[in-house]
Amino acid sequence: MSGAAASSGLRKLRGPSAVGGGWRRFFDLLYLIAVTDFKKSYFGTVLGYVWSLARPLMLFAVLLAVFTQIFRVGDDVPHYEVMLLLNIVMFGFFQEATVGAVTSVVGREGIVRKTQFPRVVIPLAIVVTSLFNLALNLIAVLIFVFAFGVEPTWTWLLFPLVVAALLVFTVAVAMLLSSLYVRFRDVAIIWTVLVTVLFYGTPILYPIEIVPETIKDVILVNPLTPIFEQMRLWVIDPTAPSAVDAADGLLLALAPIAVYLATCVLAVWVFNREAPRIAEEL
């Protein structure tokens, strides 16, 4: 018996990992799970899509009333209504995806513990499902954009960049939260609070120009701020300050980018570190 030939096909097992099992299977699974989850949320209820649209629209209506009739924040802001709606829809995506992702890995315990499954697919599928919802909601936003007479410009073509930037950050946060939740169950509570803080700490309800200097630095460090700033500039109001202009200073312009990148690196590191042990921790 030729030992060399016999063992030539043997490959060493490397154990469970975030992506294990090959990229093709990874993307097949991601797509299938996201699509089926998406279908489930709409075909289960009669008015599925209506409800998913109703939530941001209701919030929009209430906030619009408060901030144009009571606080009058929007008076001097061109197309305040459209900006508010677009911001709410975009932040809604971030919120839905991250809150959903927190418990996702634990929620699919059976799969994690009893099959060889690329773990990172689980939070990613939640994000992709939310992305489908976002796409549907953006159609509604587009109607508002035209209804309120926003001028189309060539910079609309840059909108996918904004979505991409937000998507990457959302994925990072989703990975981070879902892997931490396996060990620390209060991550869920902490995140619901933090996400509210982020909602007010991002220029969603207000334009960045009216933020007083006292707290402006805090908001400028928020990695979501430049994303929403650029979106406003490119899509709604060509006269709005760009993220760099708003930051008054290169250092403050780079700060959110640093936070953004740090979050991504941390997420990948933590998830990779936790992935092999998730099945045992559950």
Partner 1 sequence: MPERTPVEALTKAAPAPPAGAAALAIEASGVDKTFRIPTNRITSLKERAVRPFARPDYRELRALRDVSFEVRKGEFFGIVGRNGSGKSTLLKILASIYRADAGTISMDGHPAPFIELGVGFDPELTARENVVLNGVMMGLSPREARRRLDAVLEFAELEEFVELKLKNYSSGMMVRLAFAVMIQTDADIFLIDEVLAVGDAAFQQKCADTFHGMRDAGKTIVLVTHDMATVEEYCHRAMLIDEGELRYIGDPEEVAQRYLKLNFERTAEQPEQAFQGQTGQEDARVLRAWLEDSAGGRTSNLERREPIRFRVEVEAINEIPEPSFGFNIANVDEIQVSAFGTHLADGEGMAERLTPGERARLRADIDNILTPGRYRMGFWVCRNRNFNDVVLRVPRVLEFVVYGSVWSVGVVSLEAEIEAQPARGSES
List residues binding partner 1 (CB under 8 A): 1, 5-7, 9-16, 20-22, 24-25, 28-29, 31-33, 36, 40, 44, 110-111, 113-117, 183-187, 190, 276-277, 279-280
Looking at beta carbons only, is 164 or 266 nearer to partner 1? 266
- The residue among 166 and 187 lying less far from partner 1, judged by its C-beta, is 187
CB of 22 to partner 1, least distance (A): 8
Distance, in Å, from the CA atom of 20 to the CA atom of 116, rounded to the nearest integer, reads 8
Q: CB neighbours of 115 closer than 8 A, spacing ≥ 6?
A: none
Least distance in Å: CB of 181 to partner 1?
10
Min CB(34)–partner 1 separation in Å: 11
Q: What does 236-277 look like in DSSP terms, one character per residue?
A: I-TTSPPHHHHT-SHHHHHHHHHHHHHHHHHHHHHHHHHGGG
**Alpha-carbon gap, residue 21 to 254, rounded angstroms:** 37
Smallest separation, CB 139 to partner 1 (Å): 26
Distance in Å, CB of 99 to partner 1, minimum:
17
How far apart are the C-alpha atoms of 177 and 22, rounded to whole Å?
A: 24
At its nearest, how many Å lie between partner 1 and the CB of residue 110? Answer: 5
Cβ-Cβ contacts under 8 Å for 265 (sequence gap 6 or more): none
Of 15 and 238, nearer to partner 1 (C-beta) is 15
Query: Which amino acid does the sequence have at 161?
Result: L
Nearer of residues 34 and 205 to partner 1, judged by Cβ: 34
Residues 6+ apart with CB under 8 A from 7: none
Which CB, 8 or 239, lies closer to partner 1? 8
C-beta of 6 vs 157, nearer to partner 1: 6
The SS3 of residue 267 is helix
| Nearest by Cα to 257 from 215, 232, 227 | 227
Give Rg (Cα) of the chain: 22
Which residue matches tokens 């997420």? 267
